[in-house]
Amino acid sequence: MAFRSLPFCSLDDMPDLAGKTVIVRADLNVPIDDGRVTDATRLSAAVPTLATLADRGAKVLVLSHFGRPKPGDRSLSLAAIAPALSDVMGRPVGFVGECIGPEAEAAVAAMAPGSILVLENARFHAGEEGNAPDFVAALARLGDFYVNDAFSVSHRAHASTEGLAHVLPAFAGRSMQAELDALEKALGKPVKPVAAVVGGAKVSSKLDVLLHLVARVEHLMIGGAMANTFLVAKGVSVGKSLAEPGLADVALDILARAEKAGCTVHLPYEVVVAKEFATHAPHRLVNVFEVADDEMILDIGPAAVEAFADALKTCATCVWNGPMGAFEMAPFDAGTVALARVAAGLTASGQLLSVAGGGDTVAALNHAGVADDFTFVSTAGGAFLEWMEGRVLPGVAALERD
Ligand code: 3PG
Ligand code: MG
């Protein structure tokens, strides 16, 4: 397994945990609506690590942030999440309304071996995001070992994701291990040829992703509004489509670098256009050279899906980030759904290793009903993108053995 060659310690390297306390950095930053968790994926991802440690007799502390609280605002409490974690774990999970200091220390002292306790939102303290040594020390006082199981927050150099790894013996949790293993197989040391499917609204937000990818993949399929910027750069009139014409030179530079590196860039040559940005807006299917001045591109057309799919079929590995069109609005979800189903089908038949992640991607794959059919779907948004840019994530780097 590729991960094993990486310089991390895992749960398998931990000593006897009887009588010990383990601080697990999980990502309990889940979406809620009216106090109820609407997507428990990240909670489920934490279960293997938490259950393993509890079953080994450790007192297990769950450390996380929740949202982006303003100084002094305590409304984003993890009290609402602890019961949902208990539900997915099928065992009791306690909660204490502090993550450092006497209240937290007393709660830890009172824990039975093998029990699990969620600590209050670490971002209630400025020292969390500031990675302040005194806050790190206060957290470290609670436990004997540190496990980072939150890949999705590992792009933050915060106390709970980075600082703690330097003051306690540090280990990668099961979810972290699975993420790193999948990412290694997708872009680190992939089986070639590799395809990258990249979509979303703006080239500007994924510039570094595209630059990193063209040097590493054989096929790059670009969809979503970001494809429009490339079309504009190539002299295509995209009407009133969302685009960043100011980035035309950058787009041309990316295309030139791709050509030099032997990466084939696929742009949609057939698109779905409408005059308004609305669900079920009247629309038509056109060749990309036939977009009228008062129309906007809202999806890739079936012929473009087929062309992307044909390239995908020649590949052994696929990394996917971003939707191909305005997938939240029917029928402009069709291109994303159709291409996602092709990737899922190729994965099911063993021809393709598929890894997806980042922002809207999971929502798009869930919408297509294929999230479970990909080889791996990351729990990460921003961290997945930073990894696709080839960046070193501070929370991951801090886990490396000296
Ligand atoms: C996320 O939801 O992407 C992670 O939990 C990180 O949250 P943040 O972007 O507020 O740091
Ligand atoms: Mg984020």
Ligand 1 atom with minimal separation from the 27 CA: 5
Q: Peptide bond before 193: cis, by omega within 30 degrees of 0?
A: yes
Q: How far is the CA of 169 from the centre of ligand 1 (A)?
A: 25
Residues lining ligand 1, Cβ inside 6 A: 27, 29, 68, 152-153, 156, 381-382
**Is residue 132 over pLDDT 50?**
yes
Q: For 283-316, what is each residue's pLDDT tens digit?
A: 999 999 999 999 999 999 999 999 999 999 999 9
For the annotated catalytic residues, the residue numbers are 42, 202, 359, 382
* Mean pLDDT of the region 388-394: 93
Ligand 1 atom with minimal separation from the 42 CA: 5
DSSP string covering 219-242: EEEE-SHHHHHHHHHTT---TT--
**SS3 call for 299:** strand
Q: What is the pLDDT of residue 5?
A: 46
Structure tokens at 247: 């980035």
E runs forming strands in 161-316? 170-172, 194-198, 219-222, 264-266, 270-274, 283-287, 296-300
Distance CA 379, CA 146 (A): 20
In this structure, the dihedral spanned by the alpha carbons of residues 225, 154, 364 and 227, taken in order and rounded to 10 degrees, is: 20
Q: What is the pLDDT of residue 359?
A: 78
Q: For 29-62, what is each residue's pLDDT tens digit?
A: 999 999 899 989 999 999 999 999 999 999 999 9
pTM above 0.85, yes or no: yes
Which residues are in the CB-under-5-Å shell of ion ligand 2? 381-382
Question: Whose CA is closest to atom 6 on ligand 1?
Answer: 153
